[in-house]
C-alpha cells in the first residue's frame, strides 16, 4: 500500500513552475500575474486567499489581492471583473467563493473572461473540458489527475466509481476520467444520494474517488483488494484538542480502508494541497497563453 503524498507532489510541482517562470523571465517573457478578489471576511476564504498569494510567491508569480467589504453591490463587483478582464497585465484572476447572498455567483462567474478564468468555472471551460478541448480545468479535478499521473496509476479500462455529483468535483471528474487519454479511458460510474446500489458499485471499483462530504463514509467492506482510493472529503469535525477547534475529516475511513488499497490519498495531505497547485498550473498556462490567444 502506497500513500499518495499530495503535499510533497504539490511542493515538487510548484518548484517546477518556479523554474519555468524564471526561464520565461530570463528570456524576456512576462511574469505570470494572478489577481484575486476577496469579498468580506469569511475565515475560510481569508485562509484560502492568503495561501494562494503565498503560493504565487513560491512560483515567482506576480499577485494582486483586491478586497471588498461584503456590502459591495453586484454591479460594483461586476465592474471590477470587467476591469480585470480588460487589464492586459492580469493573466488570470479568481473571485473567491462563497459570495454574499445578495450577489449571484453564477452571474459573476459568467462575467469573467473565460480566457482568464483560471478557476475553470466558466461554462465555456466546463464545456470545452467535456468535449475534450484544451481549457482551464478546475482545481480539485485537475489536482486528482495530476496525482494519478505522478504516481503512474493505470486508469485505462479500469472501473472508476465517483461518489458525488457536484459541479466542482463529481461531474468534472466523471467527464475527465472517460476522456480518450491518460489519465482517463476508464469505465466511469457516478453514484450519489439516490444510488441504492452505491456500496455494490464501490466493491467492484478499481478506483474510488470519494467526494460526498460524509466523514468516514467509505469503509473496508466497500473496497476491493488492491483498489486505488482518492479521498476528496474535507468535512470540519469539532476537535477541542486543536488550536483551530476542528480537524479535517475525509470521506474515507482511512485506517480501516488503507490496508486493502494499492494507493490511497489521506486527509489532510492528499488532494487538499493539490488544489492551490492546480490554480498555479492554470496561472502559468494563462501567462503562456497556452489554451487561448
Provide the binding-site residues for its own copies, judged by CB under 8 A: 106, 122-128, 130-133, 156-157, 159, 165, 167, 171-172, 174-175, 178, 180, 185-192, 194-198, 201, 204
Instruction: Output the smallest distance, CB 146 to its own copies, in A.
Output: 21
How far is Cα 255 from Cα 210, in angstroms, rounded to an integer? 16
Least separation in angstroms between CB 168 and its own copies: 10
Whether the Cβ atoms of residue 230 and residue 147 lie closer than 8 Å to each other: yes
Query: Is 160 buried (19+), middle (13-18) or exposed (0-12) by CB count in 10 A?
Result: buried
Decide: helix, strand or coil at residue 161.
strand
Decide whether 79 or 133 has the Cβ nearer to its own copies: 133
Query: Which CB, 90 or 188, lies closer to its own copies?
Result: 188
Q: Which helix (H) or strand (E) holds 181?
A: none
Contact status, residue 203 vs residue 222, Cβ threshold 8 Å: yes
In the sheet that holds 62-68, the strands lie side by side as 62-68, 33-39, 92-95
Closest by CA position to 219, among listed 192, 268, 195, 254: 254
Grid-cell match 489577481, residue found: 35
Q: Give min distance, CB of 135 to its own copies, in A.
A: 8
Q: Which is nearer to its own copies, 106 or 255 (CB)?
A: 106
From the CB of 123, what's the least distance to its own copies, in Å? 3
Nearest to its own copies of 64, 166 (CB atom): 166
Q: Which residues are identified as catalytic?
A: 52, 96, 119
* Cell numbers placing 112: 469573467
Amino acid at each position: 500500500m502506497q500513500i499518495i503524498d499530495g503535499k510533497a507532489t504539490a511542493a515538487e510541482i510548484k518548484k517546477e513552475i518556479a523554474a519555468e517562470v524564471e526561464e520565461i523571465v530570463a528570456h524576456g517573457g512576462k511574469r505570470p500575474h494572478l489577481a484575486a478578489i476577496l469579498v468580506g471576511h469569511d475565515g475560510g476564504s481569508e485562509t484560502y486567499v492568503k495561501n494562494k498569494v503565498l503560493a504565487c510567491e513560491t512560483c515567482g508569480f506576480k499577485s494582486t489581492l483586491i478586497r471588498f467589504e461584503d456590502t459591495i453591490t453586484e454591479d460594483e463587483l461586476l465592474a471590477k471583473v470587467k476591469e480585470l478582464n480588460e487589464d492586459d497585465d492580469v493573466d488570470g484572476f479568481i473571485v473567491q467563493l462563497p459570495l454574499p447572498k445578495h450577489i449571484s455567483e453564477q452571474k459573476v462567474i459568467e462575467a469573467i473572461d473565460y480566457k482568464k478564468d483560471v478557476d475553470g468555472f466558466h461554462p465555456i471551460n466546463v464545456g470545452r473540458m467535456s468535449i475534450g478541448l484544451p481549457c482551464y480545468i478546475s482545481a480539485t479535478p485537475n489536482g486528482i489527475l495530476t496525482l494519478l499521473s505522478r504516481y503512474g496509476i493505470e486508469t485505462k479500462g479500469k472501473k472508476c466509481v465517483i461518489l458525488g455529483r457536484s459541479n466542482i468535483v463529481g461531474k468534472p471528474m466523471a467527464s475527465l476520467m472517460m476522456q480518450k487519454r491518460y489519465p482517463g479511458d476508464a469505465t466511469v460510474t457516478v453514484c450519489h444520494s439516490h444510488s441504492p446500489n452505491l456500496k455494490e458499485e464501490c466493491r467492484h471499483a478499481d478506483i474510488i474517488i470519494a467526494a460526498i462530504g460524509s466523514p468516514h463514509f467509505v469503509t473496508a467492506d466497500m473496497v476491493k483488494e488492491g483498489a486505488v482510493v482518492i479521498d476528496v472529503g474535507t468535512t470540519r469535525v469539532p476537535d477541542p484538542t486543536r488550536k483551530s477547534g476542528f480537524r479535517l475529516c475525509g470521506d474515507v475511513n482511512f485506517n480501516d480502508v488503507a490496508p486493502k488499497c494499492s494507493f490511497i490519498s489521506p486527509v489532510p495531505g492528499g488532494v487538499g494541497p493539490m488544489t492551490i497547485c492546480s490554480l498555479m498550473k492554470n496561472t502559468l498556462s494563462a501567462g503562456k497563453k497556452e489554451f487561448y490567444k
